[in-house]
Amino acid sequence: MRAYIGFDDTDMPDSRQGTGKLARRFEEVLPDGCRVWGVVRQQLLLHQEIPYTSHNSSACVVIECPDNLVGEELIIKAIAHIEEHSSEGSDPGLCVIFENNTSLSQLIQLGLDCTRRVVTQRETLDAIREGHLSGHGGTNDGIIGAAAAVGLTLRGWSGRFIEFGKLRNFPETVAVSALIRSGIQVISLDRDCRVPGPDDSVQTKGWLRPRLWDAKAVLPVIPIGENQWESLGEKNRK
């Protein structure tokens, strides 16, 4: 059984940690028998009518549970986590959905809408027929992004992983075979359709962030030499 936990709007411009880091730290308080499959950052619409701290992104933690009997405990722990670590003055929102929810299609559509237009709290509440949705301060607008993060992650075709196994422990240059063993598929975007071999190497530029494609962790790469590849994207330099 998978649980999807969305966090949004938990920080302020001067905060020491953003929503992504808060989401990643949720692994520290999981109930026994649960484990994090991955944490996905989702990008939402940038619009003058939408207040956001820096990029209007939200995060979804995908958790593998023995069954849904831990659902209530997960919700309690998620509420405590967001209330403890959210910054004063923020508008935190939390969404907890299990994969057997009967309103997943409405939630997925909400997520897509949040990438295209301004969505209201009322629309968000209407999309959640089952599951948990709650605001924890300020305007409570964070419920919109939290629900959108869950919906987009459920769809399986957008977002990038900010946590997946030992994602942050890989060296700057890593073998394709090591990525495959970790559950990350390596896909070439070369126009001539070359296929990365297991002994090939990937230059990550110190920023390994697979995409969520087909509900899997996929690293898009381009060729830079014989048996050598480079992953797309890199960390923003401040």
Sign of CA dihedral 12, 17, 20, 24: negative
Amino acid 129: pLDDT? 80
Hunting for tokens 């990525």 — which residue is that? 179
Q: Domain of 86: which CATH number?
A: 3.30.70.2200
pLDDT category of residue 55 using cuts at 50, 70 and 90: confident
Residue 68 resides in a domain: yes
**Tens of pLDDT, residues 110-158:** 999 999 999 999 999 999 988 999 999 999 999 999 999 999 999 999 9
Average pLDDT over residues 87-115: 93
**pTM metric for this prediction:** 0.93
pLDDT category of residue 102 using cuts at 50, 70 and 90: confident
Percent over 90 (pLDDT), the chain: 74
Percent over 70 (pLDDT), the chain: 96
**Tens of pLDDT, residues 19-39:** 999 999 999 999 988 999 999
Q: Which of residues 119, 141, 161 is at a domain's end? A: 161
pLDDT at 207 over 90: yes
Residue 237 resides in a domain: no
Residue 238 resides in a domain: no
User: Which residue blocks in the chain are alpha helix, DSSP H?
Assistant: 19-25, 71-85, 104-113, 121-127, 142-155, 176-181
Q: Which of residues 146, 161, 176 is at a domain's end? A: 161
pLDDT category of residue 52 using cuts at 50, 70 and 90: low
Asked if residue 140 and residue 62 are part of one domain, the reply reads: yes
Asked if residue 191 and residue 136 are part of one domain, the reply reads: no
Hunting for tokens 């958790």 — which residue is that? 63
Asked if residue 183 and residue 119 are part of one domain, the reply reads: no
Q: Which of residues 161, 183, 198 is at a domain's end? A: 161
Asked if residue 189 and residue 151 are part of one domain, the reply reads: no
Residue 236 resides in a domain: no
DSSP letters spanning 170-183: S-SEEEHHHHHHTT
Residue 33 resides in a domain: yes
Asked if residue 186 and residue 112 are part of one domain, the reply reads: no
Asked if residue 199 and residue 218 are part of one domain, the reply reads: yes
Domain total of the chain: 2
pLDDT category of residue 54 using cuts at 50, 70 and 90: low
Query: Which domain, by its residues, includes 175?
Result: 166-231
Asked if residue 175 and residue 60 are part of one domain, the reply reads: no
Of the candidates 177, 238, 237, 168, the one whose C-alpha atom is nearest the C-alpha of residue 204 is 168
Residue 64: how many CB atoms within 10 A of its CB? 13
Of the candidates 22, 7, 1, the one whose C-alpha atom is nearest the C-alpha of residue 132 is 7
